[in-house]
Chain A
Amino acid sequence: MDSLFFLFTGAAMTNILDIKNLNKSYNGIPALKNVSLSVRAGEIHGIVGANGSGKTTLMNILFGNPVIRETGGYQGEIYYEGVSLKTKNSTEIIGLGIGMVHQEFALIPDMTIGENIKLGREETNRFTDRLFGKKYSFVDRKKNDLNAESALKKLGVNVDIGVKIINLSTNTRQFVEIAREIARADLKLLLLDEPTAVLSRDDASNLLEDLTELSQGGLGILFVSHRLEEIQQICDRATVLREGEVISQYGRGEVSTTKLARDMIGHTVSKAMAKKRAIEPRPLVSFQQYSVEMPGEEIRGMDLDIFEGEILGLAGLSGHGKSALGYGIMGMYPATGEVVYENMKIDRMDAKANILKGMYVLPDDRQALGILPDHSLAENIIFTGDQIKGLFSMNFGLPFLGFLDKRKVYDHVHQLVDDFEIRCTSVKQKIRELSGGNQQKVCIARALTVNPRLLFVAEPTRGIDISAKEKILKMLIDINRSRHTTIVIASSELDELKRVCDRIAVMVEGRIFKVLQPDSSDVEFALALAGEEGTDYDA
């Protein structure tokens, strides 16, 4: 990595990336309008914007994504160190010294961390280099791994370099992905598209520190993120996009979350806030020695009482089991231990049986588990209620028929679409065409159709822009207050949990470590999350 450092010391504070009057439209619908911005060597330039503001389009253009060319290219100029990028494809762009970290992982699951980081740039044996040429030379594993390890060390990650990607948590994968880019000796500009979206709070803040360090070494970074605090924390400059236009640009010292938030959505957001109240400690469900074998998120012998009518928060770092609770009950992963629900022991972790008993789970991975992407909004809302409870089926006397009662469906769906302000062209629109926030609303609407007594929600606001976030949280509070639905929210957004929940249970290593009040201090939470006893001991 010495060479990397050497390269950067000489770099002056000139623009390495210049975007001038960029315009792009898809089928006549403008996605970017006159966007201009620049990145200097050694600076972090933040880009914020709500969903649909053009961030992804901008990144796609910079990445040289073929989608752009297929949809008619773009107008305007992009210069990288004085070279126009217009006619370049992805490979050529990478060759120029631009590194990219995408939202989706581009790692090979069956190769080790070291192999992935050095893929295509392996250190080779010098003797066989001369014998067979560089291309067919033997890989010097030792040197290779050392090199990869130093890149990971730079990011402050300590993992065995020989572990295969397939065995890693999402968090670590993200770090490997970034390590792969910074292990390149010729890297001068790094494009990061929501690198912290899949990370837990702790890991995200580690990553931010690493990025600051890298930029001080002379690397230019273009950083796209939803999380405004991150932008404020690390960016030297920030650009706010709204509906494809540059709304504002802030220089060093001017970046603040409130300004960014205002510019981003065009108005101020009122935050969801639940009133404090006393909950009668009558358990609706209690878990004893409950374990779930969800790989990477195991619960190991948890004891927990969930009180009737409360909103319980589940906090914890990723990998400590907070998202596995609901999955275990629905039989998605093998679960053991005792669960008593309404004074009855639940012996079978079976989705159908437990939905009928009044439990429902909204998953954290919305795309993979939460929606039927090619089905309509209406079909997504009614699916579970119809399949399990037969709410919308017409049988004509034959129980196996179950044709859809379309009028009943549409009445129900229209009602919910109005109530929740789900933005769509019609209830027949395919759900994958909706934004993340609206998809989440559809998921909640589906849960309401089933009308559960106990609702598990995991990461309800993940990947959703800030104004929609607050709406989702308000919806959850409303449901709890008006329908007396007991809600368990597992989330890595501690701030949100503190605003919404009646109690917050902190999970450490698959067990409940401590149950805190939402108004407990940040220090208490930080200690609990780290698994350290604070000053006051729980009995």
Chain B
Amino acid sequence: MTHDRIRTPQIIIIIFLVILLIMAYILHMDLVVLFNESLIKLVMNGVLALALIPMLNVGAGMNFGLPVGIVGGLVGLCIAVNFRLTGFPGFFASLLFSLIICVVFGWLYGLLLNRVKGREEIAGTFIGFSIIPLMNYFWTLAPFQNRQMLYPIGGQGLRPKIGLDPYFYNVLDNFCMIKISGFEIPLGLLAFYGLLCLFLYLFFRTKVGRAIIATGENEAFSRLSGIDISKIRLIAIILSTVFAGIGICVYSQSYGFIQLYDEPLSMAFPAISAVLIGGSTGRRTWIFEAVLGTYLLQTIYLLTVPIANEILIPELTEILRTFITYSIILYALLYRDRRRIVY
């Protein structure tokens, strides 16, 4: 599990982060508050980054079709809210609903991806693009009953932003929160994240998990060794989709809103940049890389907002954010190891 060297992107990002920290200090910002928030941001976005790992490890590349899982998770959240479930029961119910829906979505998504082997990334991107308008129909037509979810006028169709305040807003964030002299450590949230990491870690040590890694590294070898490649890929893709579903549940309870319609479209990109910043090369990726990458990226986002507000025009933050996300993906696409092409 050793890395022989830190690659250029990590160095650039860390230097950038240090500069931002120094600026934050000079501008008299409350670094403790920023630190507290960075932990929340880590888990809020971290699960979505973890969701990329199974597909990377099976050799299906970056899951640009992450919106498939996210949409599944959103349906789960909506069902939980529809029944007005609150607190932990509400949150866990939404996880359970998401899980069931994402298994189905992941299975269909996997069947599709198995037919476009070698071009999963571009296919995934467009599957992501096409599921959004499909789901837009669903959001407007689905027979949800809870008035607080529906458009106030007319009472038909879900709102683009459904507030979670009365239900399970921050229920995980505030669970077992430890406060020591200004520091607020969201222990429950971190433990939940840790459990998910542990699950993935153990999963890749099981027989199926090892077959996934072997298939990602050399598919022909696996096939000759009697591994059912389609099945193994399907398992990895379903797992990826399920994690995306869980990811959006965690994200929403932290953020406080369920964001529907076109919002899930761009959610795959920060996750992908995070994993790339962590050091993934588009092939086998370690959990540590996903965690580190998410922390670095989210902390930079976190710092740029107040700093840019202070010294630049406020609108620049969003521009910077988008610029960082996309340019990192572009960088990775430029310099990643080319996949072996066999004629």
Classify the secondary structure of B's interface with A: helix
Contact B206 A109 (CB under 8 A): no
* Interface presence of B146 (CB below 8 A): no
Pick the most buried of A350, A386, A387, A393: most chain B CB atoms within 10 A of its CB. Answer: A387
Q: Do A351 and B226 form a contact, CB below 8 Å, given A109-B343, A390-B207, A401-B206?
A: yes
Contact A400 B225 (CB under 8 A): no
Residues of A within 8 A of B310 (CB): none
Question: Is B220 close to A, CB under 8 A?
Answer: yes
Report whether A351 and B224 are in contact in the complex, using a CB–CB cutoff of 8 Å. Answer: yes
Are A361 and B224 neighbours in the complex by a CB distance under 8 Å?
yes
Instruction: Choose the segment among B11-19, B86-94, B154-162, B209-217 that binds chain A (4+ C-beta atoms closer than 8 Å).
Output: B209-217
Q: A372-B217, A383-B214, A387-B211 are in contact. Are A403 and B206 (CB under 8 A)?
A: yes
What 4 A-B pairs are tightest by C-beta distance, nearest first?
A402-B207, A352-B226, A351-B226, A384-B225
Specify which of B207, B211, B343 is in contact with A166 (CB 8 Å cutoff).
B343
Chain A, 371-403, CB within 8 A of any chain B CB: 371-375, 379, 383-384, 386-388, 390, 393, 400-403
A330 at the interface (CB under 8 A from B): yes
Residue of B nearest to A388 (CB): B226
Q: Which of A333-364 contact B (CB under 8 A)?
A: 350-356, 361, 363
Q: Whole-angstrom distance from the CB of A531 to the nearest CB of chain B?
A: 28
Complex formed: what's the CA distance from A332 to B220 in Å? 9
Interface: A404 (CB within 8 A): yes
With the chains together, A375 CA to B283 CA distance in Å? 14
Cα of A72 to Cα of B323 in the assembled complex, Å: 37
Q: Is the CB of A375 within 8 A of B214?
A: yes
Does A539 reach chain B (CB closer than 8 Å)? no
Q: Is the CB of B221 within 8 A of A371?
A: yes
A165, A166, A373, A400: the one within 8 Å of B218 (CB): A373
The interface residues of chain B lying within 8 Å CB-to-CB of A386 are 207, 210
A372–B207 CB distance below 8 A: no
CB under 8 Å from chain B, chain A span 269-322: none
When the two chains form their complex, are residues B211 and A373 in contact, meaning their CB atoms are under 8 A apart? no
CB distance from A169 to the nearest CB of B (A): 11
Could you tell me which residues of chain B, from 260 to 301, have a CB within 8 Å of some CB in chain A? 284
CB neighbours of B342 from chain A (8 A):
368
Which of chain B's residues 189-233 have a Cβ closer than 8 Å to chain A?
A: 202, 205-208, 210-211, 213-214, 217-218, 220-221, 223-228
Q: At the interface, yes or no: A97 with Cβ under 8 Å from chain B?
A: no
**Do residues A403 and B214 form an inter-chain contact, with CB atoms below 8 A?**
no
Chain B neighbourhood of A379, CB < 8 A: 210
Cα–Cα distance between A330 and B224 once the two chains are bound (Å): 6
Q: In the assembled complex, which residues on chain B have CB atoms less than 8 Å from the CB atom of A387?
A: 207, 210-211, 214, 225-227
Does A370 lie at the interface of the complex (its beta carbon under 8 Å from any beta carbon of B)? yes
With contacts A371-B218, A373-B218 taken as known, whether A351 is within 8 angstroms of B207 at the C-beta atoms is no
Known: A352-B228, A383-B225, A384-B226. A374 touches B211 (CB 8 A): no
Q: Is A523 positioned at the interface, with any CB of B under 8 Å from its CB?
A: no
In contact, A351 and B223 (Cβ under 8 angstroms): yes
Check A29 for interface membership: any CB of B closer than 8 A: no
Residues from chain A with a CB closer than 8 A to the CB of B225 are 351, 355, 383-384, 387-388
18 pairs, A vs B, C-beta closer than 8 Å: A109-B343, A165-B343, A330-B224, A330-B226, A351-B224, A355-B225, A368-B220, A368-B342, A371-B221, A372-B218, A379-B210, A384-B226, A387-B210, A387-B227, A388-B226, A401-B206, A402-B208, A403-B206
Cα distance A403–B209 when bound, in Å? 9
Beta-carbon contact of A400 and B211 below 8 Å:
no
The reply to whether B214 and A372 contact each other, CB–CB distance below 8 Å, is yes
- Distance (whole angstroms) from the CB of B214 to the closest CB of chain A: 6
Give bound CA distance, A5 to B190, whole Å: 76
Question: Is B206 touching A402 in the complex (CB atoms < 8 A)?
Answer: yes
Give the contacts of A395-425 with B (CB-CB under 8 A): 400-404
A131 at the interface (CB under 8 A from B): no
B224 and A401 within 8 A (CB): no
CB-based contact B220/A355 at 8 Å: no
Judge whether A363 and B226 touch: CB under 8 Å: no
- Contact status of A369 and B207, CB under 8 A, knowing A166-B343, A374-B284: no
The listed residue (B205, B206, B221, B223) touching A372 by CB distance below 8 A is: B221
User: Could you tell me the distance in whole angstroms from the C-beta of B318 to the nearest C-beta in chain A?
Assistant: 40
Shortest beta-carbon distance from B284 to chain A in Å = 7
Chain A residue contacts of B220, Cβ below 8 A: 332, 368-369
A328 CB to closest chain B CB, in angstroms?
12
User: Whose C-beta in chain B lies nearest to the C-beta of A374?
Assistant: B217
- In Å, the complex CA distance between A368 and B224 comes to 11
The answer to whether A375 and B217 touch across the interface, beta carbons within 8 angstroms, is yes
Nearest neighbor of A351 in chain B, beta-carbon distance: B226
What residues on A are CB-neighbors of B218 within 8 Å? Answer: 368-369, 371-373
Instruction: Please indicate the chain B residues that have their CB under 8 angstroms from the CB of A165 in the complex.
Output: 343
Contact with A along B134-147 (1 / 0, CB 8 A): 00000000000000
Rounded to whole angstroms, the CA-CA distance of A368 and B223 in the bound complex is 12
Given A356-B226, A368-B218, A368-B342; 19 other pairs, CB 8 A cutoff: A109-B343, A327-B224, A330-B224, A351-B224, A351-B227, A352-B227, A354-B226, A361-B224, A363-B224, A372-B214, A372-B221, A373-B218, A374-B217, A375-B217, A384-B225, A387-B211, A387-B226, A387-B227, A388-B226
Closest to B341 in A: A109
Most buried by B among A355, A383, A393: A383
Q: Mark B172-195, 1 if CB is under 8 A from A, else 0.
A: 000000000000000000000000
Q: How far is the CA of A390 from the CA of B202 in the complex (A)?
A: 18
Please report the C-alpha to C-alpha distance between residue A204 and residue B208 in the assembled complex, in whole angstroms.
44
Q: Which of B217, B221, B227, B284 contacts A369 (CB 8 A)?
A: B221
Distance of A166 Cα from B341 Cα, bound (Å)? 12
Interface string of A82-125 (1 = CB under 8 A from B): 00000000000000000000000000010000000000000000
Write out the residue numbers on chain A whose beta carbons fall within 8 Å of the beta carbon of B213: 375
Interfacial chain A residues near B221, Cβ < 8 Å: 369-372
Chain A 154-179: CB-based contact to B (< 8 A → 1; otherwise 0): 00000000000110000000000000
Q: Is the CB of B224 within 8 A of A332?
A: yes
From residue A382, how far is it (CB to closest CB) to chain B in Å?
Answer: 10
- In the complex, which residue of chain B has the Cβ closest to the Cβ of A166? B343
Report which residue of B202, B214, B226, B227 has the largest number of chain A beta carbons within 10 angstroms of its beta carbon: B226
In the complex, which residue of chain A has the Cβ closest to the Cβ of B284? A374
Is B217 a contact of A355 with CB atoms below 8 Å? Answer: no
A401 to chain B, nearest CB (A): 5
Most buried by A among B206, B208, B213: B206
Contact in complex: B224, A404 (CB < 8 Å): no
Q: A439 CB to closest chain B CB, in angstroms?
A: 12
Point out the residues of chain B lying under 8 angstroms from A371, CB to CB: 218, 221
Contacting residues, chain A, for B208 (C-beta < 8 A): 400, 402
Across the interface, which residues of A come within 8 angstroms of B207, CB to CB? Answer: 386-387, 390, 393, 400-403
